[in-house]
Structure 1
Amino acid sequence: MEIGQQYGFETLAIHAGNEPDPTTGAVVPPIYATSTYKQDGVGGLRNGYEYSRSANPTRTALEECLAAIEGGKRGFAFASGLAAEDTLIRSLCVPGDHVVFPDDAYGGTFRLFSKVLGAWGVEMSPAAVTHPEAIRAAIRPGKTKVVWLETPTNPLLNVADIAIVAQIAHDAGALLVVDNTFASPYLQQPLELGADVVVHSTTKYMGGHSDVVGGALIVRDAELADKIAFHQNAIGAVAGPFDSWLVLRGIKTLGVRMDRHSDNAEKVVEFLQRHSAVTSVLYPGVEGHPGHDTAAKQMKRFGGIVSFRVTGGEQHALDICNKAEVFTLGESLGGVESLIEHPGKMTHASVAGTPLEVPADLIRLSVGIETIDDLLHDLDRALA
């Protein structure tokens, strides 16, 4: 399949990078469990392959698929989402540079920027993703190289207007990076809206089955792609062949899974809005949500992540998490099974005491694709 042709999302998800094997006709790419390749003479690569840190055919298939479904020029697969983020910043910044960072973001990303990249010399300033003027005010002329967004954010489900923030970043000579993990490329296309780089934890919706850890970058500029390719090889945190194969397999059903995740999440939101123990529901699909109109404009649907706050403070929130049964108590998200967690004690413990600290009474759900009545009954019992 010629990736440049205009196929629909589901067709690209199934076929891009998945050319039938020329020898056997196998419709699923093989797992190339090899570290090195026979050379066609000294310095002569065989079809671009020499060593699997630099390139591996299974990873190539995944990277081609990633680029196709995000509408990018080139995709890159990494060992984890944080490995992708670290490689990206080291590709774009040097010590002394500055990044505008979300005021609501995944705790692991905040830890990477504040503890690791900060020690390296890259400075960051949190800014409210929902207020473009706050982002503009946080930019340091001549020093800001990257504006970083999550949208929807993790875990408060805030929504940024990607097109507006892209213009602000570009006016300042900076690049816009969008973490598209919560939405997935099925629901949102940041590159089309003006972003320069899309980030994914492919552990989540891309893989979709809680059986692989991975990350990805997708870019729309060839020169930037070459820079990232150099750093991907030089730093070396690449996705292995089996992990690449698992993510590639997961992507094939991404569209149908995201529709079911969204269906179930909408029904969970309706249930939570009616429950007396719930003080607020954070979900972009709710009409009263401050980011609802923006999300409706730039997303196909509103996704499978739901956060909510409860009466009784932190202890009640912890009790609810511990009482759930169909919702498994666990970190991560985006798998076919439903998960429940307490961000303040789990995924976002690293932001405690910072401007990104999350409410103690907050619970985050990753709504899976189980029978919806079972999910609602489980929540009703846990909230009782």
Structure 2
Amino acid sequence: MVVVDNTFSPMVLSPARLGADVVVHSMSKFISGGADVIAGAVCGPESLLNSMMDLHQGSLMLLGPTMNAKVAFELSERIPHLGLRMKEHCLRAMEYATRMKKMGLRVVYPGLEDHPQHHLLKSMANKGYGFGGLLCVDMESEEKANRLMHHLQNSSQFGLIAVSLGYYETLMSCSGSTTSSELNSEEKALAGISPGLVRMSIGYTGTLEQKWSQFERAISRTMDSIL
């Protein structure tokens, strides 16, 4: 049985159509979009879900992970515009990644043609939804990464420092010292996580050009402080 976590790419990918047996989502992220609920979903064949709800042996009955009714209702109200939100997340991520690369920054984003899995994702993705709302900028050292995030949050209001994703504001974190801090240096190297890797979950508030000018201002101050 193949289980796929599609939290990072709802709408962009449809794992069930690609052969996955079960698809799971942390609905607190892109599907919610508001960073204000905690919820998850397990999507799969009716036979599997019925077995999980078996009165005597089902894991759902024994462990009790039943969604709060108010949360379920709120999520049902947000799903209809998930497609519109994902398109804007992805559009801006693609635009920022392209512009950041032109600035000479080291950018990791599957929408860029030089990404090693660009063509694979392109062949699997649903047309019209882009390549995802997350990108990474490698600042080489943790000190430089923290300096950039400081200016992005406090000097230009481009985004917020947080380890979550899928919010309507841009969220940023230094992966090596936060979400992947439990890995040792060899494991981080194998995963491509440098000490200065900044993960950005791109939001869609404000206009694209307004937010880009905020990014440029923060980069300028970061480089001035380094020099």
Query: How far apart, CA to CA, are the structure 2 residues paired with 1:241 and 1:351?
Result: 37
Bigger-Rg structure (1/2): 1
TM-score scaled by length of structure 1: 0.51
More helix by share: 2
Offset of 1:374 from its aligned partner?
2.4
Q: Does 1:250 align with 2:75?
A: no
Q: Does 1:224 align with 2:48?
A: yes
Query: Which residue in the other structure is 1:261 paired with?
Result: 89
Match of 1:234 among 62, 65, 80: 62
Which runs of structure 2 are paired with 1:107-186 in the superposition (5 Å)?
A: 175-184=1-10, 186=11
Code of the residue aligned with 1:282 in structure 2: it is: V
Contact kept, 8 Å, 1:181 with 1:200, in 2: the verdict is yes
Provide structure 2 residue ranges, at least 5 long, that are not aligned to the other structure.
221-227
Q: For each residue in 1:132-184, what CA deviation from the matched residue of structure 2 results, as whole angstroms up to 9, or x when unmatched?
A: xxxxxxxxxxxxxxxxxxxxxxxxxxxxxxxxxxxxxxxxxxx1111111110
Query: Which residue in the other structure is 1:366 paired with?
Result: 201
Structure 1 stretches (4+) deviating beyond 6 angstroms?
none
Offset of 1:354 from its aligned partner?
6.4
Query: How far apart, CA to CA, are the structure 1 residues paired with 2:185 and 2:93?
Result: 31
Residues 286/203 of structure 1: CA separation in 2 closer, same or farther (3 Å cut):
same
Query: How far apart, CA to CA, are the structure 2 residues paired with 1:205 and 1:224?
Result: 25
Query: How far apart, CA to CA, are the structure 1 residues paired with 2:180 and 2:74?
Result: 27
Contact kept, 8 Å, 2:137 with 2:198, in 1: the verdict is yes
Code of the residue aligned with 2:49 in structure 1: it is: A
Query: How far apart, CA to CA, are the structure 2 residues paired with 1:327 and 1:354?
Result: 30
Query: Which residue in the other structure is 2:98 paired with?
Result: 270
TM-score scaled by length of structure 2: 0.84
Contact kept, 8 Å, 1:207 with 1:249, in 2: the verdict is no
User: SS of 1:350's equivalent?
Assistant: coil
Residues 214/356 of structure 1: CA separation in 2 closer, same or farther (3 Å cut):
farther
Offset of 1:353 from its aligned partner?
4.7
Q: Does 1:195 align with 2:20?
A: yes
Offset of 1:356 from its aligned partner?
4.7
Match of 2:133 among 304, 313, 337: 304
Contact kept, 8 Å, 1:209 with 1:250, in 2: the verdict is no
Identity of aligned residues (%): 28
Contact kept, 8 Å, 2:98 with 2:112, in 1: the verdict is no
Offset of 1:250 from its aligned partner?
1.8
User: SS of 1:344's equivalent?
Assistant: helix
Query: How far apart, CA to CA, are the structure 2 residues paired with 1:353 and 1:231?
Result: 37
Query: How far apart, CA to CA, are the structure 2 residues paired with 1:190 and 1:197?
Result: 8
Offset of 1:349 from its aligned partner?
1.9
Q: For each residue in 1:299-335, what CA deviation from the matched residue of structure 2 results, as whole angstroms up to 9, or x when unmatched?
A: 1220111112125x22101111111122111121111
Query: How far apart, CA to CA, are the structure 1 residues paired with 2:37 and 2:86?
Result: 18
Residues 203/322 of structure 1: CA separation in 2 closer, same or farther (3 Å cut):
same
Q: Does 1:351 align with 2:187?
A: no
Query: Which residue in the other structure is 2:33 paired with?
Result: 208
- Over the aligned positions, Cα root-mean-square deviation in angstroms equals 1.6
Contact kept, 8 Å, 2:169 with 2:203, in 1: the verdict is yes
Contact kept, 8 Å, 2:125 with 2:131, in 1: the verdict is yes
- Relative contact order higher in (CA < 8 Å, ≥ 6 apart): 2
Contact kept, 8 Å, 2:89 with 2:204, in 1: the verdict is yes
Offset of 1:237 from its aligned partner?
2.5
